[in-house]
Amino acid sequence: MQDVNLYKALANENRLAVLEWLKDPVAHFPPQADGDLVADGVCGLFIADKLGISQATLSAHMRLLVQAGLVRPKKIRQWIFYSRDEDRLRALKAGALQAL
């Protein structure tokens, strides 16, 4: 089941863009009132705004990324902040390279 979630998560250009932006959040997002961009992640509102989509649509995208283990959510007050799970991404990359 985990592989299915991974393939679903990677099968959308918006989700791929989010993963790329979260690699260097300071370069892609403005400073936040709550939470540090690097330490805590990026507020979902900023991600939705950058993609030009609703919060509900963003939630669906982020749910797939979280289920695939590519992104970690963190709740601060009433907001959800997202950061890449670098350990998981490194493991996936290593596994893909071994499969070649």
User: Which domains are seen in the chain, by residue range?
Assistant: 2-99 (1.10.10.10)
59-77 mean pLDDT: 95
Dmax over CA atoms of the chain, in Å, equals 44
Kindly report whether the global pTM for this prediction surpasses the value 0.95: no
Tell the residue number behind the tokens 């509102």, with chain if given.
45
Predicted pLDDT at 98: 65
Element (H, E) at 13: helix 13-23
* Order of strands, sheet of 79-84, starting from the edge strand that comes earlier in the sequence: 42-43, 79-84, 71-76
Distances (CA, A) of 76 to 28, 43, 88, 89: 20, 9, 23, 24
pLDDT at 1 over 60: no
Return the sign of the alpha-carbon dihedral for residues 32, 35, 36, 42: negative
Predicted pLDDT at 2: 61
